Amino acid sequence: MNEIKRIISPDTQREDRLPPGQRLTDKWPVLHHGKVPSIDIKKWTFTIAGLVEAERTLTYDEFTALPQVEVVSDIHCVTTWSRYNNVWEGISTSAIKDIVKIKPEAKYVFVLGEGGFTTNLPIEDFFQPDVLFALKHDGQPLTAEHGAPVRLVVPRLYFWKSAKWVTGIKFAAKDEPGFWERAGYHMHGDPWREERYGG
């Protein structure tokens, strides 16, 4: 077996690792719009669409056969709680580059979640080495309420960018607000600059 690649999110190494306006918790609150979907992994698919040479749809077995990584990261929720030292296991976003050819015009990624959820990310943020599609948290399979079977984790942005129940991604040339961004959340969401609302 290949050794799993371990990545420490750089924000965990900051001398003062709590971003402004945040407070620390050991708990892991559940937050989302709507109901927790029940997803059958036999029917689940992951679609890569938009500005790629050829769009692709992977089954759960195909997706989870991609090389896996382990990431240690902090969670910073815009509602002001932070949780340190989360251990995630899953598929690095960089694995996407090995299976599709992304067109040079692509500058943004929309992450799609079950039931119509979307969130927008600049392509550079999406491909940071600590960003992954997580299958496990702290050694346990993700629970349905935390986004099973697959959720995105973007450690260096506020946690609303970490879409739960992911079903695919779409590459685009222009930025567009996603679900929470249309509701007033910031288009980017950097916790160190307190990009909470507006912008």
Classify residue 28 as exposed, middle or buried by CB count within 10 Å of its CB (0-12, 13-18, 19+): middle
| Cα–Cα distance, 36 to 167 (Å, whole number) | 14
Binders in 15-54 for Mo ion, by CB under 5 A: 31
List the single partner that 146 binds among Mo ion, ligand MTE, none, CB under 5 to 8 Å by kind. ligand MTE
Binders in 51-70 for Mo ion, by CB under 5 A: none
Helix (H, G, I), strand (E, B) or coil at 117: strand
Regarding 160 and contact with Mo ion (CB under 5 A), the answer is yes
Please say which residue, 18 or 102, places its beta carbon nearer to ligand MTE. Answer: 18
Please say which residue, 133 or 160, places its beta carbon nearer to Mo ion. Answer: 160
| Cα–Cα distance, 195 to 161 (Å, whole number) | 12
Regarding 179 and contact with Mo ion (CB under 5 A), the answer is no
List the single partner that 97 binds among Mo ion, ligand MTE, none, CB under 5 to 8 Å by kind. none
Give the DSSP H/E element, type plus range, for residue 61.
helix 60-64
CB 19 within 8 A of CB 194: yes
Please say which residue, 67 or 141, places its beta carbon nearer to ligand MTE. Answer: 141
Regarding 117 and contact with Mo ion (CB under 5 A), the answer is no
Footprint of Mo ion on this chain (CB under 5 A)?
31, 160
